[in-house]
Amino acid sequence: NLYTKRRRGYVLYQVAKAMRISGKFCVDEIIMLTGADKSLVYRFVKECLSKGLLEIQAKLPSSHKKGCWINIYRVTDSDRFKKEAL
């Protein structure tokens, strides 16, 4: 469906913009800000990590689940991120 493809492109744009503006974030914050699907955000983060646009800055223990950890990501270079991800 053409509408869903356009919608997905717009959501990815919003996700990338939220990541760039936040600078330091966890995936749940990006989901809360954009309303995007969790799997879409995780896939985009994985892609950005492989390109070197993001790096894992810290791993914090989850307050909701015992034994789980939350990754805190950081945009490595804002200008490069803007060119390649947006």
Q: What is the tens place of the pLDDT at every residue in 19-31?
A: 999 989 999 999 9
Among 17, 11, 9, 8, residue whose Cα is nearest residue 75: 17
Cβ-Cβ contacts under 8 Å for 12 (sequence gap 6 or more): 36, 40, 44
pLDDT confidence of 47, banded at 50, 70, 90?
very high
pTM over 0.85: no
